Amino acid sequence: MPPAVTLASAATAGGFLLVLAIILPAAGVLLALAFGRHAERIALLLMPAGFAIAIAILADVWHSQASLVAVMGGWAPPLGIALRADGLSAMMLVTTALVICAVGLFARGDFGMPAGGGEARAPLVFWTMLMGVWSALNAIWLGRDLFNLYVALELLTFSAVPLVCLDGRAETLAAALRYLLFALVGSVLYLLGVALFYGAYGTLDIGLLAGRVRAEPVVWVSAALMTAGLLAKTALFPLHLWLPPAHAGAPAAASAVLSALVVKGSFFLAVRLWFDVLPGLPGVPAAQALGTLGAAAIIFGSVLALRQERLKLLIAYSTIAQIGYLFLLFPLSTGAAAAGIWGSVAWTGGVYQLVSHAIAKAAMFMAAGLIGEALGHDRIAGLGGIGRALPMTIFAFGLGGMSLMGLPPSGGFVAKLMLLTASVTEGQWWWAVVILLGGLLAAAYVFRVLAPALAGADEPLRLCARVSRRREAVVLALAVGALLLGLLPLRPSELLQIGRPAAPTAIMR
């Protein structure tokens, strides 16, 4: 009983905000199902409140310089469930809320409910699943129990898969089923690892496990199973086969959510596993292996993006490449590097990459959607003259591309420069070579789109539909947000060190 009392007393005054962050969008799902014809209004009304809650959590974590904790029902782990928001969680809550709100404003043009008050299948599914994705992601950012994180991951999967096939076409249904197959295989592997952890240590709470795990075979088998399952859900090379058709075939608003946020949920759990559950274990070989897969993803995804003929497929393959940068966080923030300043730099750079890619990629997918809507197709060869017809959209696409390339003053520049500097300083120069090569390849496939878009058309351009300036403004605002991230200082972020297990005390002061 004494340990339970101690853990329960760790609950903080602002802990109720963590519960609200999950409950609010979950309530939106239930209300949308109950009042189907008002699903759009319900979602749009809840979005500002959800964004305000995320900002409040971040402000609380920053002001207190400590993690926010909520203990459900007064029962502390291992009997109960705890929620926790550290600096990383707070940053992801705000990023998720920002992207969801922007997608909601953008999606009104495609998924507005019928004016006559009737109920349409695609809009109802879209707004309901969007709220489901938001709730599941917040549960992942805040969860501290491996099994409950599995439940949140499954809720995320079953909310995301329907977004792929909203139009009901045969090819999108096939892409959704392939996505579901990979996701379910990943879930089985993850759950097997969770079961082994519970059998060995009798708890699944991350904080309690971190103090009990030892370097023994059951731990390595569990970690390997869970990691393999999470990599399948993240679409890290070579487990990426489901991502391009799923993301490219989905409507633009859905593609933005899938690429910007959904694939980050499983990556986040991989970070929690290796940095929070197993912080004291010698994981350098595993970290190098994950970094190698990330480097392969950067090169392979970029080369395939260069070969695509469709704009949305190019952006989808670039997602595979940009995901690869995230996995460089593992070799640059483990082992001897974890205790030094450059480990903190690499950690900050990895999180900046996570955030900047989410914002930039959401803007690029929505820009591609507007281009496809205006032209009636998204063939790169047929983009001639679209820059004059949709200058705001093409400008937004270019700003997002700057972040992918890592050009100053974008957020991608800050992220990639931090990762590159850490790799050189730590003596792991081979990751720096990959980062530089990936930037050059990203420039090649972004300019492959901008070159025809900014050139004159061979014949007068005929638009199939008029594009809303309001939707263009939403896309541009997101792209500018990705650019403004580059104004952040090039040093370890104090916010991101809050609650980090390996955070050096010098950084925390």
- What's the pLDDT tens digit per position in 70-95? 887 777 777 778 899 998 999 999 99
- pLDDT of amino acid 158: 93
10 Å CB burial of residue 265 (0-12, 13-18, 19+) is buried
Contact 256, 172 (CB under 8 A): no
- pLDDT of amino acid 501: 72
- pLDDT of amino acid 460: 66
- pLDDT of amino acid 6: 40
459: left (phi over 0), alpha (psi -120 to 50) or beta: beta
- pLDDT of amino acid 10: 66
Q: What is the mean pLDDT of each run of 10 residues along the chain (509 residues)?
A: 42 81 94 86 93 94 87 76 90 95 90 65 89 95 92 94 88 92 93 93 87 87 93 91 89 92 94 87 80 94 92 93 93 69 84 93 93 87 85 92 90 90 87 93 93 76 80 92 82 77 44
- Residue (of 105, 117, 128) closest to 44 by Cα position: 105
DSSP lists the bridge partners of residue 295 as none
> For residue 490, how many other CB atoms are within 10 A of its CB?
14
pLDDT in tens, 243-291: 999 988 889 999 999 999 999 999 999 999 998 888 767 667 888 999 9
Look at the pTM and tell me if it is higher than 0.85.
yes
What whole-number distance in Å separates Cα of residue 177 and Cα of residue 376? 26
What whole-number distance in Å separates Cα of residue 410 and Cα of residue 360? 10
- pLDDT of amino acid 458: 65
Inter-CA distances, 19 with 139, 150, 166, 344, 488, Å: 9, 18, 30, 30, 30
Contact 258, 247 (CB under 8 A): yes
Per-residue tokens: 507: 């950084």
Task: Provide DSSP, 161-215.
Answer: HHHHTTT--HHHHHHHHHHHHHHHHHHHHHHHHHHHHHHHHS--BHHHHHTT--S
**DSSP state at residue 484:** H
- pLDDT of amino acid 11: 65
Which residue matches tokens 């017809």? 389
Listed in sequence order, the residues at least 6 apart from 135 whose beta carbon sits closer than 8 Å to its beta carbon are: 22, 23, 24, 25, 26, 28, 29, 155
Listed in sequence order, the residues at least 6 apart from 452 whose beta carbon sits closer than 8 Å to its beta carbon are: 380, 381, 382, 383, 384
Per-residue tokens: 264: 């980050």
Listed in sequence order, the residues at least 6 apart from 435 whose beta carbon sits closer than 8 Å to its beta carbon are: 298, 325, 328, 406, 416, 419, 420, 423
What are the backbone dihedrals phi and psi of residue 70, each rounded to the nearest 5 degrees, phi first?
Answer: -125, 130
- Residue (of 313, 472, 309) closest to 383 by Cα position: 309
Distance of CA 335 to the CA centre of its chain: 26
Contact 482, 399 (CB under 8 A): yes
In SS3 terms, 329-383 reads as HHHHCCHHHHHCHHHHHHHHHHHHHHHHHHHHHHHHHHHHHHHHHHHCCCEHHHC
